[in-house]
Amino acid sequence: MNDRSNTPVSGESLLFLTDEQLRKGIEAMFFAYRGFTADPDRILDEHGYGRAHHRALHFINRTHGTTVNNLLAILGVTKQSLNRVLRTLIADGLVESRVGRTDRRERNLYLTEAGRELERALSEAQRERMRAAYRAAGPQAVAGFRQGLEAMMDHEIRRHYANLRDRRP
Amino acid sequence: MNDRSNTPVSGESLLFLTDEQLRKGIEAMFFAYRGFTADPDRILDEHGYGRAHHRALHFINRTHGTTVNNLLAILGVTKQSLNRVLRTLIADGLVESRVGRTDRRERNLYLTEAGRELERALSEAQRERMRAAYRAAGPQAVAGFRQGLEAMMDHEIRRHYANLRDRRP
DNA sequence: TTGGAGTGTCAACAAGGCTGACTTAAAATA
DNA sequence: TATTTTAAGTCAGCCTTGTTGACACTCCAA
């Protein structure tokens, strides 16, 4: 329809992309994300949880002792929405909420042993999928894959992500 | 925790990936998908639609005259769920549903001019994001990006995707 | 002509988003 | 010290989008 030409993406060129090529990328993104979440979704379902729980577990595990406000910023949801999820995770003994030491208004969040166990099962499924994808795509594709993903994030979120990356214990 | 080593992914090696590297890939996937849907989400919101409407518009546009059953298979939702979305799109005059000519039980779905217009706005936002990502990642990353995404899909879905790709008019 | 496929619709429910209003406790500040 | 702001939690209510289950209609094909 609006395709400019049939010129493919050539090695080192100025990057002419047809609408057709872009459409394929868009659909690949859609289907890939579905594949990416499929395995955890099955595990979560067995426990009566959803993706929202997975996200919370992931980021609490990744930044031990993070505060509720911090989590809100990363996840980009409302306090009420997150609270509903956190409440069940705490009630089920997967997450522990401790009053902050320096600022007693804050709550620091930690995974319990049970929480770590579920998180490990979820992330292992996802890591395995990621490994398989990397294997299938080949070593030379790995860098390009990550670069493409990072370039697609919103800038502020990418900053967030970069900060998180460095702040690791 | 379970990191095997600090050995990075090396050019042509056997692909040893640390858990840390995999975790970064997992988070990149999460944040990238959010960026990927952010622009269309804003447009959809102005029209009172959601992502479900976007998906329907996309695949009807992409395979003109597709049947409801076809769409169900691609989207992976229930008939009832899709029907709710289709009903509003038809009522709003964005989608036309014509009784099948060869099999009058089937309905063939088409975008109206208004439907094409919205679809174009949505996909243009997404294409622009994709172009920017490719530009930022650089030409040598483009192939790797697509390969990584395709390798992450479920196999049956990838077949679907491949078929769709070839069946284009 | 009958069975089954494709489609549509009704009802009811759940997850997980949202807004708005309000409380409590603690920290920061005037 | 008194006041304001901040962090967290909660209640109520709404929306979208997913789910089941039941059922009706059309119409093709055996």
Please say if the pLDDT value at position B122 is more than 70.
yes
**Dihedral angle over CA of A96, A97, A99, A100, nearest 10:** 90
Residues 46-75 (A) near nucleic chain C, CB < 7 A: 48-53
Of B29, B144, B161, the CB nearest to A31: B161
Query: Is B3 part of a structural domain of the chain?
Result: no
CATH label of the domain that carries residue A23: 1.10.10.10
- Measured between beta carbons, the chain A residues lying within 8 angstroms of B142 are 9, 15, 144, 148
Give me the pLDDT at residue B7, please: 47
* Gap between the Cα atoms of B164 and B27, Å rounded: 29
The predicted structure's pLDDT at residue B102:
86
Instruction: For residue B81, say whether its CB is under 7 Å from any atom of strand C.
Output: no
What's the structural domain count of chain B? 1
Per residue, the 3-state secondary structure of chain B, as one string, reads CCCCCCCCCCCCCCCCCCHHHHHHHHHHHHHHHHHHHHHHHHHHHHHCCCHHHHHHHHHHHHCCCEEHHHHHHHHCCCHHHHHHHHHHHHHCCCEEEEECCCCCCCEEEEECHHHHHHHHHHHHHHHHHHHHHHHHHCHHHHHHHHHHHHHHCCHHHHHHHHHHHHCCC
Phi and psi angles of residue A111, each rounded to the nearest 5 degrees, phi first? -85, 140
DSSP chain A: ------PPPPTTS-----HHHHHHHHHHHHHHHHHHHHHHHHHHHHHT--HHHHHHHHHHHHSTTEEHHHHHHHHT--HHHHHHHHHHHHHTTSEEEEE-SS-TT-EEEEE-HHHHHHHHHHHHHHHHHHHHHHHHH-HHHHHHHHHHHHHHS-HHHHHHHHHHHHT--
**Measuring CA to CA, which residue among B117, B120, B100 is closest to residue B108?**
B100
Q: Average of pLDDT values for A68-89?
A: 97
The position carrying tokens 């009807």 is: B60
Token pair 């970069």 is found at A162
- Cα gap A161→A67, rounded to integer Å: 16
Q: Is the pLDDT of residue B3 over 90?
A: no
pLDDT at B107 over 70: yes
CB A134 within 8 A of CB B17: yes
Closest C1' nucleotide to A107's CA? D8
Distance CA A110, CA A169 (A): 14
In a domain, A2, yes or no: no
Residue B45 has what pLDDT? 95
Structure confidence at residue B155 as a pLDDT band (50, 70, 90): confident
Lowest mean per-residue pLDDT among A24-28, A77-81, B7-11, B134-138: B7-11
pLDDT tens digit sequence for B39-72: 999 999 999 999 999 999 999 999 999 999 999 9
Is B156 inside a domain boundary?
A: no
- Would B152 be classed as within a structural domain? no
Q: Would you place residue B6 in the very low, low, confident or very high pLDDT band (cuts 50, 70, 90)? A: very low
Contacts of B12 in chain A (CB under 8 A): 139-140
Q: Which of residues 48-67 of B touch A (CB under 8 A)?
A: 55, 58, 62
A131 is in which domain, residue-wise? 19-166
Question: Out of A27-36, B17-26, B143-152, B157-166, which region has the weakest mean confidence (pLDDT)?
Answer: B157-166
State which residue has its Cα closest to the C1' atom of D21: B80
The pLDDT of residue B168 is above 50: no
Q: Which residues on neighbouring strands pair with residue A96, listed in sequence order?
A: A110
Confidence grade of residue A71 (pLDDT, cut at 50, 70, 90): very high
Minimal CA–CA distance to A26: which of B60, B168, B161, B94?
A: B161
| Amino acid letter, residue A10 | S
Whether the per-residue pLDDT at A167 is higher than 80: the answer is no
Q: How far is the CA of B23 from the C1' of C16 (A)?
A: 25
Tell me whether A99 touches chain B (CB under 8 Å).
no
What does the pLDDT average to over A8-18? 61
In whole angstroms, what is the distance from residue B52 CA to residue B65 CA? Answer: 19
What does the pLDDT read at residue A11?
46
Whether the predicted pLDDT of A34 surpasses 90? yes
Residue with tokens 């070593």: A139
Nearest-10 crossing angle of helices B79-91, B51-62 = 80
* A151 has pLDDT over 90: yes
